[in-house]
Structures are given as C-alpha cells and as structure tokens.
Amino acid sequence: MSYVAIKGGGRAIAAAAAVTEYLRTEEGLVGTAAEPLEINAILHQLRHLVDRVISEGGVYHPQFAALAIKQSLGDTLEAAFALRAWRSTRPRLSATPPLDTSRMRLIRRISSAFKEIPGGQMLGPTPDYALRLLRLELLDESPEAFRAVARDWLENCPEARLPDSFPKVLDALRAEGLLPPVSAARSQTAFDITREPLVFPVPRSAALATMARAETGSLLAIAYSNMRGYGDVHPTVAELRVGYLPVLLPHPVTGELTEAGEVLMTECEVVAMYEADKANDSGGKPMFTVGYGACFGHNEVKAISMAILDRALQKGMKDGAANPSEDPEFVLLHVDGVDSMGFASHYKMPHYVTFQSDLDRLRTTQSKNREIA
Amino acid sequence: MNATPLTQGGNAYNFGFLDEYAKKEVRRAVLKAIAIPGYQVPYASREMPMGRGFGTGGLQLTLALIGPDEVMKVIDQGSDDSVNAVNLRQFIEMTCPGVSTTTKTTGCTLIQSRHRIPELPLTAQQIIVLQVPYPDPLVVVEPSEDKRKTMHGEADYSRLLVKLYEDIVKFDEITISHRYPTRINGHYVIDPSPIPRWDVPKLDDSAALILFGAGREKKIYAVPPHTRAEPLAFSDVPFRVEDFRDGAGQRRACARCGSVDSFLDEFVADSGSKTYQCSDSDWCDGVEASA
C-alpha cells in the first residue's frame, strides 16, 4: 500500500520566498533601465503609504516603514506588521510626558465649526477639493520636469509669517463654558497597551492608544456604521490639524525635559451635541461632548474615524452599548490590523487534524440519523 | 541583565528575539498560570515576525523559557516537517544560537506544538507548549470577554453544559470535534487548543507541564503536572474520542507503520480510495523502525 510523503515543508517555504523575491525584481528582465525602488523615493513620493504604515505599525520610524513597504511589495498590512515585529525586539527606555499639541508646527489646520478661528484656517496639502481626474501626463514624467516642479513652487511661494503655535479651537469653547473643563483625568498616567493587556473595562487612554495604531480601514468601517445610523454621534470637526509635534524626553542625566525630535502627526477633535442633564464634570450643566483622535503620520480619515469612535465609546462606557460602535470590546478587539490579518491568514495553514475530527463527528451523526430513519 | 546580541542580516537581535523585559513578563504570567490551574492569565503579548494565528503565543512561551542547552522539538499537525513547524523551528534556530533541535519526542526538553500532543507519553523532564487560537471555551456561548471572566470566576459553566445537552437533543451526539472543553482541577474549564478529542485524555495527570499560549488573544494558561483534567460530559453520555473503526468494526491501521493505537490522518488518493496514516510522524517512524 502506498503512503504519503511527509517531508518537504522546508524546501517549499524556501521556494516560496525565492519566487516572491523574483516578482520583486522581475522588472530587471524587461526594462534595461530598471532600478530598485529607492527608500528615499518611497519616503517622498509614496508618503501617505509611509504615514499609514508608521501609524498602524505604532513606531515612528519613517525609514524602516519605507523599507517595510519595499520588502512587502507595497502591502500595508504586511509592512505595518514587519515594523511592529521589529518593535518587539526594542526595550522601552523612557516615556514622554503628555505632549502639548498646541505646540505643533502645522502644515494644515482647519475647523468646520467656525468660518474664522483664532490663528486662521490653513488648508495646506490636501486632496479634499481636488478633482479626481487621472493626470495622464504623469504616465511618462521626465526627471527634469519632476525636479523643476518643487523648485519653482518654492521660488514663487510668498513668504508667510506664521506664528510658532496656534491656539486650540476647543480652548475657546471651553472658555465660553460650552465644553467641560479639562478634568483631573489629565494627570492620570496613560495606559500603555504595549506593556499591559486589555482587561475590560479599560480606561479611555487604553482605548485611544488601541485606536491610534489600529488598521485604518477597520476603524473607518466601524466609525462609518455609527455615522450612517448604527449610532448617533453627529460630529462637527472643531479642529483638524496636521503637523510636526516636538517630542520632549527627560534628559538622561539632568532629568530636565529636552526636545528629542519631532513627529508628523494628525489630530482631530470633534464636538458632538450635548446630552440631557447627565452628571458630568461640570456638575450637571448641559455641555457639548468631545471626541478625540490622533495618530502618527498624515492620516486624516483615520484621525476623524478615531475621534468619532472615541465619542461613541465614551457613551457606551457610561450608558452601555446601544450599537457595535459603542461597545468597547467590539471596537477595540477588532481594529488591530496585525491581529486580524494574522488570524485571517492562519486559515491557510494545515488544519488536517481538526478537520479529521470534524469528519468523525459528522459521519457519526449521519450514521445515527440513518439508523433512526 | 545579560543580553547576548546576535547579528543576523545586519540586525542585532537578543537571544530568543524578545527583549529581556518581555521574557520576564511572560515568565511571570507562566508562574501565575501554574499557580491557578486552568485560569487564563492576561499578558501584554508582543508582535512576533510571523502572523497572529501562526503560533505567536506558543512562540513567546518557548522563547521566554528556552535556554542555550535546550533540546527543542517543533510540530504542527503531529509532523515536524509541516510548513509551519519548519518555519518556527528555523526562527528558533536563528534567534537562539546553541539550542539543539530534534524531531524525536524522546530526549527533547521543550516541545512546541499546534493541534497535537505526541502519542508517546511525555515525562516530568519535558514541557509542552500548545498554540492556542481561542483561549476561552465560553466564547461559543458568550461573546463578551468581560462577562466570560465573571462566569469563569463563579465556575458558571451551565450554558456550556446546555449547549452539549442541546447537541444530544438535536443530533443524538455531542458535536464538538476538537477544542473539547475540559475542566481543570475541579474548577476552571479550558479550551485545550484545537487538539482532537483523542489527545484530551493525555492532559489528565500528565507528568509533563502543559502550557497554552494565545498570542493574539493575549492569554497564557497551564495544566500543571499531575493535575486532574476532565472533559465535560454527562453521567449517561460519556466523553468519546475519535472513532477509527471501519465499516466492519475493525480498527484501521496506519498504512505506513501498521500502528492501530494512534490518531490517523485520512488521505484521498488520486484513484479516490482512502488511506490512513499516523498523524504523529515521530511515532510512525518509531513503530516502523522497531518492526
């Protein structure tokens, strides 16, 4: 009787890696001018891909994010995953105090709540009002034309006198008594999701940290369910800002806070309608409520989705969840890209043993049915 | 803290990949898991360089426990040469220099396995780490982790027993094929990982320490040596393992080694005929060699 070979797994894995590497480099066969994708080109020309990967990877390392994008052939889930795994090998040496985002060096800042805001609106780089027409001239862009664009833009750019920092729109609302004051909760230490497992109920800071590195599409889908009707946040974007936030760390010798660098990030604060006389920080006076979203990189859809879900989850934590987007377990345990893509992929692995066991149950049940019939 | 850097492809990685703080945290969770048999200890599971669901929980246990003098065996579906087992073994060899690996159940000190416990009884000198996709047996009756935690604390498994009862009413059989809920030391009911029912009796009064790691779900639990492990059943409906008898009631034998007391994989040949063969490849090799 014949039997089945049970060797060869190692060779198959090596061959799969080799053929994937072939696909990465096959351009070399057809184009004589083919060159490997440069990390710098990814960093600059595919910057939103890098933004997404540093955000979902949860590590601010644009260069390694670009490397991860290159080696994963542009798969964002895989690239964020590689960055996250790299982070597992790094000890955590220090923690920043809460950083003041009013100190951000802004490249963009808008409010949909007011026509004019203190410091002014600044549209900055955004595709929001661009017509999504294919720019066919980019199909064959010459290096000379490419280099000239940025140079010309800088030359013709009027010198702007921008202040070092912009006031927050929320502060103005707070001063008017339309929002609750920043509570004592601010002095609490933030929950570190990289060092503590989520055991429900979790504090708001754990929810915010989980969403900050969540997979963009997952976060968007659940937030969208709330926007459409499985929820009722109805937010107004009080402020959305994108820019470089100075990162302060205690000096290793003196302990004094020292600027260690800056990170590009997106922050979104939404204001939602007030609720009926609920006991809150302001002693029962009706007030607007706030949802907060922030993440590494320039990721506006993610920051807005997060702010809406923050608001929805706060409601769920207080009154119980009336729909999935208000349920902390439902939202927080299903938005991580590394977790969800890993588990979806694992179904491709051998399941011979469990399937054999399933067959045993089904056959036994079927034969019992036959006996009865 | 002694961390031996390892240079691999230009990157310096610690022995066992994880940094020492992460390993300590896993070990603390293991100690707690042993102290409270069957209790799911939450821990801050790290991301590993293979997919969540591919054994990252088991791997973190392995890497936190492994020492330079370890003799390591890695299996998946009972086989040392299954793609995932090969992948994990290569990663362990790469990140744990000095560790020796083997395919033999005899003589190894640490086993990482997915979906099987070896047929050869394990010894007090061995630890087996099982990879876990779903750590909580109550998930089939209660989706909220918060509520499940209370149910476990109160040893409230009534809804699980009702599910088994309903199975009997509907199908005249308990339909749970693998991941069979098993009560440990008279209190906590565990999901023993997707091992077949065939392997469940091996949990009871085991000489070896059995550890369970769920990386994605961030839980570690244990069946310590010589601890009671009882699959849920009723006094008039006993627990039963997979039935490998043919139509005539004859126990099927492995087509390769002739074994009639091992869990069998079923293969469908090109001709459509069925062949049965040991799932545990080391067991199969052993029986064949001694024949």
- The pLDDT value given to residue B8: 43
Q: What is the mean pLDDT of chain B?
A: 92
**Can you give the pTM of this predicted structure?**
0.87
pLDDT of residue A283: 60
CB-nearest to A12 from B76, B83, B194 is B83
Q: Is there a domain that residue A54 lies in?
A: yes
Supply the DSSP string of A235-256, one letter for each residue: -EEEEEEEEEEEEEEE-TTT--
User: Does position B3 have pLDDT exceeding 50, yes or no?
Assistant: no
Residue A367 has a pLDDT of 87
Pick B53's closest partner by Cβ from A201, A343, A358.
Answer: A343
In a domain, A316, yes or no: yes
Are A32 and A177 contained in the same domain?
no
Cβ contacts of A199 within 8 Å, gap of 6 or more? B42, B149
Nearest to B178 among A200, A344, A357 (CB): A357
Residues 139-198 of A with CB under 8 A from B: 193-198
Residue range A42-69: mean pLDDT, rounded? 97
Do A71 and A117 reside in the same domain of the chain?
A: no
Q: How many domains does chain A have?
A: 2
Q: Read off the pLDDT of residues A267-314 as tens digits, 9 standing for 90 and up.
A: 999 999 876 655 555 566 788 899 999 999 999 999 999 999 999 999
- Whether residues A372 and B172 touch (CB distance < 8 A) is answered with yes
CA distance A20 to A16: 6
B129-150 mean pLDDT: 95
Q: For residue A153, is it within any domain?
A: no
Q: Is A91 close to B256, i.e. CB distance below 8 A?
A: no
For the domain covering B5-140+150-231, report its CATH number. Answer: 3.40.50.11310
Catalytic residues of B: 38, 254, 257, 278, 284
Range of the domain at A25: 12-87
Q: What is the mean pLDDT of residues B226-239?
A: 95
Do A78 and A223 lie in one domain? The reply is: no
The average confidence (pLDDT) of chain A is 90
pLDDT above 70: percentage of residues in chain B: 96
Instruction: Indicate whether A78 and A105 sit together in one domain.
Output: no
Per-residue pLDDT band for A185 (boundaries 50, 70, 90) equals low
Please give the helix or strand (H or E) that residue B22 lies within, else none.
helix B20-35
Q: For A365, which of B144, B173, B256 is closest by C-beta distance?
A: B173
What pLDDT is stored for residue B6 in this prediction? 43
Domain final residue, candidates A59, A87, A115: A87
Interval B243-256: pLDDT, tens? 999 989 999 999 99
Q: How confident is the model at residue B102 (pLDDT cuts 50, 70, 90)?
A: very high
**Does A349 map to a domain?**
no
| pLDDT at position B2 over 70 | no
Binding-face residues of B in 25-54 toward A, CB within 8 A: 25, 42-49, 51-54
Clarify whether residues A198 and A316 are in a common domain. yes
A positions 43-102 inside 8 Å of B (CB): 81-82, 84-85, 87-92
Are residues A123 and A83 part of one domain?
no
Give tens-digit pLDDT for B11-66.
Answer: 467 899 998 999 999 999 999 999 999 999 999 999 899 888 899 999 999 999 99
Specify if A141 maps to a domain. Answer: no
* Chain A: residue whose CA lies nearest to B215: A339
* Chain centre to alpha carbon of residue B83: 17
Whether residue B86 and residue A91 make contact (CB cut-off 8 A), yes or no, is: no
- Whether A249 shows a pLDDT value over 50: the answer reads yes
Shared-domain flag, residues A275 and A243: yes
Taking the Cβ of residue B279 and every Cβ of chain A, the question of whether any pair is shorter than 8 Å is answered with yes
pLDDT of residue A114: 87
Distance of CA A355 to the CA centre of its chain: 37
CA of A365 vs chain B CAs: smallest distance (Å): 6
Does position A3 have pLDDT exceeding 60, yes or no?
Answer: no
Q: Give me the half-sphere count of Cα atoms (radius 13 Å) on the Cβ side of residue B119.
A: 19
Instruction: Say whether A354 and B194 touch across the interface (CB within 8 A).
Output: yes
| Chain B residues near residue A92 by CB distance under 8 angstroms | 21
**What is the nearest CA distance from A215 to chain B, expressed in angstroms?**
15
pLDDT at A56: 98
- Taking residues A311-330, report their average pLDDT: 94
Which residues have CB under 8 Å from B18's CB, separation 6+? Answer: A88, A89, B26, B46, B60, B63, B64
What residues in A contact B17, CB-CB < 8 Å? 88-89
Q: Flag whether A291 is in a domain.
A: yes
Q: Is residue A314, in this structure, part of any structural domain at all?
A: yes
Predicted confidence at residue B137, as pLDDT, reads 97
Domain closes at, from A87, A112, A142: A87
Which residues, other chains included, contact A241 with Cβ-Cβ below 8 Å and sequence gap of 6+? A101, A104, A106, A108, A109, A110, A166, A266, A267
**Do A78 and A182 reside in the same domain of the chain?**
no
Q: Which of A13, A85, A200 sits opposite B145 (nearest CB)?
A: A200
Average pLDDT score over residue span A54-61: 97
Q: Is the pLDDT of residue A7 over 80?
A: no
What DSSP letter does each residue of B234-249 carry, written as one string?
A: BTTB-------B-TTS
- My answer on whether A223 and A319 are in the same domain is yes
- Going by pLDDT thresholds of 50, 70 and 90, the confidence category of residue B149 is very high
The pLDDT score that the predictor gives to residue A1 is 41
> Is residue A212's pLDDT more than 90?
yes
Q: Are residues A215 and A254 in the same domain?
A: yes
pLDDT attached to residue B9: 43
- Sorting pLDDT into bands at 50, 70 and 90, what band is B217? very high
Q: Does B136 touch chain A (CB under 8 A)?
A: no
Task: Tell whether omega for the bond before B97 is within 30 degrees of 0, i.e. cis.
Answer: no
Q: Look at residue A90 and give its three-state secondary structure.
A: coil
Read off the pLDDT of each residue in B170-181 and give the average, rounded to a whole number.
Answer: 92
Judgement on whether residues A106 and A71 belong to the same structural domain of the protein: no
Reported confidence tier of residue B236, pLDDT bands at 50, 70, 90: very high
A185 lies in some domain? yes
Domain boundaries, chain B: 5-140+150-231, 243-291
Q: Is B200 left (phi over 0), alpha (psi -120 to 50) or beta?
A: alpha
Pick from A26-30, A47-51, A84-88 the range whose average pLDDT is largest: A47-51
Whether residue A342 and residue B56 make contact (CB cut-off 8 A), yes or no, is yes
Residues A80 and A105 in one domain: no
- Report, as an integer, the average pLDDT of A52-56: 98
Contact yes or no for A3 and B52 at CB 8 A: no
Determine the Cα–Cα distance for residues B29 and B41; give it in Å rounded to an integer. Answer: 6
